[in-house]
Every structure is written in C-alpha cells, then in structure tokens.
Structure 1
Amino acid sequence: MGSISGLSLLAVSLFLLMSPGIQGGKILVFPVDGSHWVNMNLLIESLHTRGHEVTVVRTATSWYIKDNAPHYRTITVTLPEAISIEEQDFFVTFLVKMLAIQKEGASLIGFMSFYREMLGALSKIHQQASLLGVEIFENKTLMQSIRDTHFDMVLLDPGLPVGVLVAHELKLPTIFNVRWVTSGEGHFVVAPSPTSYVPTSGNAASDKMTFGQRVKNTFHYILNMCIDKFIVCPHYDKLVARYFGPDVTFYHLLQGADIWLMRVDFVFEFPRPTMPNIVYIGGFQCKPSKPLSSELEEFVQSSGEHGFILMSLGTLVKGLPIEITSEIAAAFAQIPQKVIWRHAGERPNNLGNNTLLVKWMPQNDLLGHSKIKAFVAHGGTNGVYESIYHGVPIIGIPLLFDQFENVLRLETRGAAKVVDATKLTSQNFLEAIQEVLHNPSYKSNMKRLSDLHRDKPAHPLETALFWIEFVMRHKGASHLRTESYKMPWYAYHSVDVICFLLAVLLLLTATIVGSIRFLCSRLCGRRKPKQE
C-alpha cells in the first residue's frame, strides 16, 4: 500500500513538473505610469507568484512605478525631460484648463481651443515618450544586457508604445495589456469597427445611433485617424525609420501583437466585431472585499439604516476646483447618509458633519461593504468595474478622456446617473443623489450587471495569466493573428476587386449593347430593299 502511495505521489510530482506554465519565464514589461500602472502591477504580482521573472522598464521620474519592489526588477532610463503624464500635477492642470474651455459652451471657438490644447499636450507626451526608445537603442551596453537576459516575451501597455519597437528589435512575441492605443480604443486598430453602430473614441454615444449621431461618429473616427497619423505617429515613425529602415512601418508593428489582453467586458461594452487574438479581461482587478480598519468600520456603522456614500475621482485627478467641491459638499450635507470622500485638494466650503475627507481609502473594500448605497465617481475604468463587481450604482461626474463614454454606457443600462461637472450645482447634484438612492431600478440594474459579470468559467485575471503563459509556451500566437494589416488599404477594402468587377460589368454591358445595335442595324439594312 505504501509503495502504491509513493508511486502515486511520484506520478503527481512528475505531472506537475511537466505541466505547461510550471516553469518560470522571463518577461520584459513596458508599462504606462499613473492609473494604468495599477492594472499592470496586478498582472506583474500574479506572474511573480507563479514563478516568472519580471523586469520593468521605467523612467527616472516615474511617480507610481517604484525602482525597488519585491516582485520585479527594474531597468531605469533617464530622459532629457520627464514625460508630462509622469508629473503629478499634469492632470490637475490639464483638467482645470479643460473645465474652463467647456464652460465657454459648445461654440466653434471653444471647440477649437479644446482641441488645440489637447493636441499640443498629446504631441508633447508622445515626443517625450519616443525619447525613451532613443535612450534604449543608443545605449549599446543596455541593449546587450537586455539581449543577454534572453527574455521570453514582452508585455506592454500600448498607450505609450515604445516597447513595441524594442520587442521588434529583440524579435520577441508581444502581448498588449490594453484598452487604449495611440489612435484611441484598441479595437479600432485590430478589429473591424463599423461606425454605423460602434461608438468611436471621444464620442459618447450608444450603439443605437440616429442618422445625425452616425454622421458625428464618422466625423470623430476620421478626426481620430488624422490625429494619430499627423500628431502622434510621426514621433514613432522617425524612430522606426532611424533604426529599422523604410521596409518597417510603426503602425504595422502596433497591429502585429500576438495577443491583446483587452480590459473590457461585454457586460459593460457595447457588442461589436472582434478577433481571435483579442482576449477579454475586463474587471480582472476585482476581488472580494476585506474587513475595514476599526476607524473606518466605526464611521460606516454610525450611518445606521441610511448607509453611506463613497466618492473618489481616481488616482490622476487629486481634486476639483474649490467652487465645484463646495457645491458637492453642500449637497452631501443635506442627506442622512454618511459620506467618505477621497479628497486631496483644498478643503471645500459647506462641509457637513456627515462627511469624512480622506487622502486614501480602501476603495474595493468600501464598495464591497454591506452598508454602501452609491458611488460618486469620475468614471475611470477601474472604479467602474469595481462598482459593477460589487453591484453599487454610480453618480457619475466625468472629467477627462474616456470617462464620458464609460458613464454613458452605465447610464444607458440604467445603472448610473450623470452630472455635468461644468454645470454642477448643489441642487442638481442633490437631485442626482436622491434619484439613485430612492429609485430601486439603479440598484437592481447594477446588481444584474454584477451577476452577469461574475458568471464566467474563470476569473479574468486567471484568463490573462493563461494567455501570457500560452504565448511563452508556444513562442507566440501567430495562428490567431490576422495578416490583414499588411494588406494595402485598397486590397483590404476590396476597392481593386470592386473596380475590376465594375470594369467587367461595363465591358459586358458594352458588348451586349454593341451586339444588339449591330444586329438591329443588319436587320434594318435587309428590310429596306424589300420595301423599295
């Protein structure tokens, strides 16, 4: 009996040793700082736990990506100037400018001012980011060190896509941890995206659009393509031309990733065409809540039967202008619920005794608490998915970028109420809070989304880890990747085929018409002598 048990143990041990993914690989990571790093860091921690060796490329001015960490090594690159988004006050300054422009109204001048400000900042960010590629490629010692490490793959966030070029130089398979690329939402680069029912980045619309909305959506799509081609890509095209020559195209490198780990769930996203190498991991950061600290638990329990409301504007924006926060504070002071507000800016006026200001809070644990009633949020992706996971309805105050689209998706599904930050008053904000609190449909709709989101064969994080290890095991996933991006535009859209068929049709029509005319003329010629 003992020998049988011993043999069984040996067999199990051999099976585990031979199981795919059991042996650790070497992964080179190019992250994006700020809130994107929160997602990437979670993946890195999980990969480290599974025995993989992770090396993170960071700049010397990174404010979220630390130089020393127990679960990854770093390659720190010093740039001539810091990338703007790595400056802690960048998004606060940018937000203040955007709010001022939006208050001018939907005038042509306001529209032009908005895009001039945005495009200038966007071009500068990518120009600064492209210098990371220069510093890496020009440092021969660093490049040789990277080659000598013999990495198995590159994992990167293509929001700042310098890692794509490094992966191409090293001839390594590439995985994107992605929702955004240089031209907007990642699907538009890799999958068919009909503008008739797929909302374009920057256009807060549903998948059910009127004719006018479809015109606007198409305009936004063309605008995004122009911005990408003339504002963003030239910075990376220069790098590609400098280090790889004229036969390589940056946009093709971007499209050629083996796997796209898309931070999207169709519970939240509108249905749309997809591709075999897109893996959906929306909500992979979500997890069950943990007990609160004694101080927070005491404050929450003091809310009694009314419960509490949570407010946070995410990691990038530290605070709204004082005139807006004072209106919010005045509305909070009029409700019986307690409020926990993550706030790092100037203390607002009209703050009620029911409101607790904190500089940091365990957001996931608070969202999972039994006494929470609603979440006042800016609509960042992380907060949205945590709300869906825990079934907490949202009062949305979108401020920047995709936040307007995110809260619209929830509003369309009846799980959120949106308030315009530029028109926010204590009265309309109070009305929004009361509607979400007292109309049970918001809670029930979000609970339904939560049930759908959780009903999966595997947690999204496990799915992400499986595909990362899949690419390492098989040294890529080219069998899942379409080669359509290498086709010229006229071939991709079958313009040449349509022209050929039209030419054949015209030739056939001309032949038939000519034959009929010829036959008619011959018949008429034979009849004339008989009449004479």
Structure 2
Amino acid sequence: MPLHRVCGVFAFLSLCLISITPHCHGGNILVFPIDGSHWINMKVLLEELHARGHSLTVIRASNSWYIPEKSPLYTSITLEIGVGMEDFFDVFLQEQMKALREEDSLLTLKLTKDFLFMISEAHSLWTGAVSKIFEDHNMTKTLTDSQYDLVLTDPAIGPGVVLAKYLKLPVVLNVRWIPSGEGHFVLAPSPLSYIPVPGSGLTDKMNFIQRVKNMLFYSIILFQQKFVVGPYYEALCDKYIEGGCDIITLLQEADIWLFRSDFVFDFPRPTMPNVVYIGGFQCKPAQPLPADLEDFVQSAGEHGVIIMTLGTLVNALPKDVADEIASVFAKLPQKVIWRHKGERPSTLGNNTLIVDWMPQKDLLGHPQTRVFVAHGGTNGVQEAIYHGVPVLGIPLFFDQYDNLLRLQERGAGKILQLADVNGKTFEEGIKELLHQDSYRENIQRMSRLHRDQPMAPMDQAVFWIEYVMRHKGAPHLRTEAYKMPWYSYYCVDVLLLLLTAVTVLLMSTVAVFR
C-alpha cells in the first residue's frame, strides 16, 4: 500500500479514536464547605468536578462571606445559623496584629481566650444549624431521597461528617485541619519526638527543651478537643446518631482524606493509605496579565518586580508598619505591586502600585517577579513553590509561621516577625532575597520536585473522589486501629502481662533456691 494511503488511514483511525469519549457516570455529591479562604480552595475542586459531569449540592450559611446562594456550579441549601462571625473575626485580627507588634503578654493571653471563644462559638452555631436539619423531617427526607453518592466536606468544622454519618454516606475530607488541630494526629502514628505540633514553631529536628515545648502544645490540642470542641459534637451525636459517636471517631472513619500538602513542603512523617496528598492542586501555569499591569511590570526592566499581599482576610497592616514598608519600597530599583486596602502610606514611592486585588498566580508565574512578600497562608506558599519565587514572610496568625518555617528550613524563604518589622530589618530582608541567589535556587529546586509527579494533584483529588463513588466507599484503605482502646493500641496490656510473667518466673526461681 502506498505510504500516503497508509498515512491517510492512520489519520482517519486516530480521528475516530479521539472522537470517542469514555463514558463517565456523573455522581451526585453533597458538599459541606467552610467559608473564607477554605471555600476558595473547595471551589477550585468543585469547578473541576462540575466540568467532569458531577452534580453538586452545597450547604451554606445564610450570612456566608464568600459562598453565593446561586451558582452555575451547584444548587445550594441555605441554613440559618444566627449571628455571623465576620465582625468578631475582624476585631480579633486587628488585636492580634497589635499584640504581635507590641509583644504584650497580657494582650496575648486575652487573645488566646478570645480565640478559644471564637472557635467555641463557631462550633456551637454550626452544630445548632445541623440540629435544625435533623429536626426538619421534610429536609431530611429530601436529603435521603436525593440519593447522594458521597459527602465532600471540610473537616475543620465537624457538622459535615455528622451529617454523613446520619445519612450513612461515604465521606471524602478536603483540607488537613480538624476542629482541634491537624488531621495526621488523629489518623496516623505521630511521635512527638520529631513531628512538630502545629503552632509550636518547631521543625522535625528538636532538642530536649523543644520536645518538652512540643508536648505542651500537644496538651493544648487535647484540652481544646476535650473541653472546647468535643462536647458540642458529643451532644449532637448522642441525640441524633444511633449508638452515639464523637467527632474524632467520625474523622477517623472517613474513606479518603485529601491533604493540601506534600513532602516537598512538609516534614516527612508516618501516614496512612487513605491519605492523598494534593499540595498545590489549585496551581496552574500563569495566564497573561491585563494590559495595564503588564505594562507596569515590563517597565521594571532588568530589576524586576516585587509583589506583596497579606491574603484575603487582612486588608492592611498597622499604619506605622505600612509607612516603614512603603519607604523601603520607594528606595528600591524594582517596581512593586502591593495589595493594600487601608489608608494610603504617606511614604509611598512612584515605583509602587497599590491595588485592591491582584492576579496573584499570574504575577508569581511572571518571569519578572523576583520576591513575594506574604503572610504565609497555605495557598500563597504553595503557589510560590509551584512558580519558584522566594518568599519574605510576615506571619500573623494560625498556621502561617509553620508554613513559612518550612520554606526557611529549606533555604527558600525568610521569616520577619511583625514585632521586628521596621525600615532597617525590612530592607535587609528584601535585599537578602533579591541578591542571594541561593534563595531562588532553593525554591526553584522545590518547584522542580513538586512538579515531578506521575499525576497532577488535581487529577489525584478527582480520581479518589470518583473512586469512592465507584466503590461505595473505601473501608479497605482505612485503619481499624481507632476502634482499639488506648491500652491495647500501645500494648500496655501486653507489657503488663509480660512483666507479670517475668516477675512470677523470677520470684519462683528465688523461691526454689531458698
């Protein structure tokens, strides 16, 4: 057969194969998300699930900050949960920054108390809202008749797993945070000798004093679970779940856990078969910038651009700090793009562009970007790793210091505490990241490691969600160790038996000789 005819037949067959799309059964998924920055990540996952033909129903609060009632992605169920937490949270953030700035121990203690109150109030509101679902027979019948394939929920607030238990549905958890800390600690062996507790500010290399500190932080987590969070869910389970339950057991019963982390970023540690690491799943190649922003970036020439943002929750730093930072930016040859919604700094230079919003992913992926000044939120840190941009971090609250510490330990970033921010320290930090090549080399190495995977993190996430739907759960991947009492888990009973046997043997031997 002539070569051109062979090529023609091959092209025709290839076209036929491409046109045959594989059959995809669209699942029916009930989603119980958390508002704020957690929703931003959940929405990325929902967009992908929707694009693959799945039907989504989202449970939201009537006073939600970010989750709209109407969306082309999903239908929604709106719950009344009483007063919102947004105003309280704004006040807390301002007080937190003041405490960090002034290093006021009394104010820090007050903030700790306020934070525990805020956490307690949030769980109280949501468990109360779920109680209304269980009391509304029409609502529960609607949920049951909808024949959902699974519940996709954020475990930082527990009602999603309680609802899944009530409806007897498989569960996929998205995000590694739980009501009392980090999910690994209730799921996998977690030796405190080398696994730092979130909030401790420690690495996986600890001396004796640091291990004592780590143990103390772990005791705080246990206190929070036992006395601050746990009672709300125990009361809810005792009333509505046959046989009762507790929030930790429900989390341990989850079929798949999507952890927004990976071991390029995190410290190595024991894990479990039903944990899927999807760190950076929201990251994508950079898209072209708007024309005006591209012109500004290109005007920087060989010096490049610095970008700064403190995330969605923090609009502005204290005025004196903002003025100090602006004065440093004004002296640099680089151009600066700064997301800042507070009072305009009086020391602002002509090289600095103040914006209300920025296309952060696209700017991080731009070849002109030299340094990322950030608060250390998980999204920003993972996007910086993906695009290979060194980070000057100013941590403010929650897990931000721990996130930045992992970059600093790998030589890919530098931490500057808010209490230490002034013109001199900020300028030194910026220039260190700009002029020491090791920072860029280290984070670009992390970027290469992160990207070198057999399957993209988003594809992994969707595969395992669909896996749970196909197989009606994944109990074969879940350890049954959580059903064991603590003395059996740690073999205390076995050790006591062996010690008793040895003692009896020794005493018998002594008795014979006597």
TM over 0.5: yes
Q: Are the aligned partners of 1:91 and 1:316 in contact in 2 as well (CA < 8 Å)?
A: no
Asked if residue 93 in structure 1 is aligned to residue 99 in structure 2, the reply is no
1:229 offset after TM fit, Å?
Answer: 1.1
- Opposite residue 320 of structure 2, the aligned amino acid is E
1:30 offset after TM fit, Å?
Answer: 0.5
- Opposite residue 39 of structure 1, the aligned amino acid is N
1:192 offset after TM fit, Å?
Answer: 0.7
Q: Are the aligned partners of 2:234 and 2:244 in contact in 1 as well (CA < 8 Å)?
A: no
Taking structure 2 as the reference length, the TM-score comes to: 0.95
Within 5 Å, give how 1:329-340 maps onto structure 2. 329-340=326-337
Aligned to 1:16: 22
Aligned to 2:161: 164
Asked if residue 209 in structure 1 is aligned to residue 215 in structure 2, the reply is no
Q: Structure 1 pair 217/183, CA: closer, same or farther in 2 (3 Å)?
A: same
Aligned to 2:502: 505
Q: Which structure 1 residue ranges, 4+ long, deviate > 6 Å from structure 2?
A: 1-15
- Opposite residue 50 of structure 1, the aligned amino acid is R
Q: Are the aligned partners of 1:285 and 1:461 in contact in 2 as well (CA < 8 Å)?
A: yes
Mapped to 1, the partners of 2:302 and 2:19 lie a distance apart of 54
Determine which structure has more spread, i.e. the larger CA radius of gyration: 1
Mapped to 2, the partners of 1:63 and 1:225 lie a distance apart of 30
Q: Structure 1 pair 363/4, CA: closer, same or farther in 2 (3 Å)?
A: closer
The gaps in structure 2 that reach 5 residues or longer are 1-5
Q: Structure 1 pair 57/459, CA: closer, same or farther in 2 (3 Å)?
A: same
Q: Are the aligned partners of 2:32 and 2:59 in contact in 1 as well (CA < 8 Å)?
A: yes
Aligned to 1:453: 450
Q: Structure 1 pair 317/11, CA: closer, same or farther in 2 (3 Å)?
A: closer
- Opposite residue 74 of structure 1, the aligned amino acid is S
Aligned to 1:49: 51
Aligned to 2:3: none
Q: Structure 1 pair 106/345, CA: closer, same or farther in 2 (3 Å)?
A: closer
Q: Structure 1 pair 208/3, CA: closer, same or farther in 2 (3 Å)?
A: closer
Taking structure 1 as the reference length, the TM-score comes to: 0.92
Mapped to 1, the partners of 2:10 and 2:338 lie a distance apart of 61
Aligned to 1:65: 67
Secondary structure (helix, strand or coil) at the match of 2:358 reads coil
Mapped to 1, the partners of 2:446 and 2:69 lie a distance apart of 39
Asked if residue 356 in structure 1 is aligned to residue 353 in structure 2, the reply is yes
Q: Which of 284, 300, 305 is matched with 2:302 structurally?
A: 305
Aligned to 1:40: 42
Q: Structure 1 pair 331/221, CA: closer, same or farther in 2 (3 Å)?
A: same
Q: Which of 279, 282, 293 is matched with 1:282 structurally?
A: 279
1:100 offset after TM fit, Å?
Answer: 2.7
Q: Which of 308, 321, 326 is matched with 2:323 structurally?
A: 326
Q: Structure 1 pair 196/8, CA: closer, same or farther in 2 (3 Å)?
A: same
Aligned to 2:190: 193
Mapped to 2, the partners of 1:465 and 1:11 lie a distance apart of 24
Mapped to 2, the partners of 1:461 and 1:433 lie a distance apart of 33
Q: Which of 78, 81, 88 is matched with 1:79 structurally?
A: 81
Mapped to 2, the partners of 1:150 and 1:439 lie a distance apart of 57
Mapped to 2, the partners of 1:324 and 1:464 lie a distance apart of 40
Q: Structure 1 pair 189/106, CA: closer, same or farther in 2 (3 Å)?
A: farther
- RMSD over aligned CA atoms reads 2.1
Mapped to 2, the partners of 1:430 and 1:464 lie a distance apart of 41
Q: Which of 103, 106, 128 is matched with 1:105 structurally?
A: 103
The percent identity for this pair of structures is: 52
Secondary structure (helix, strand or coil) at the match of 1:286 reads coil
1:135 offset after TM fit, Å?
Answer: 2.1
Mapped to 2, the partners of 1:56 and 1:113 lie a distance apart of 36
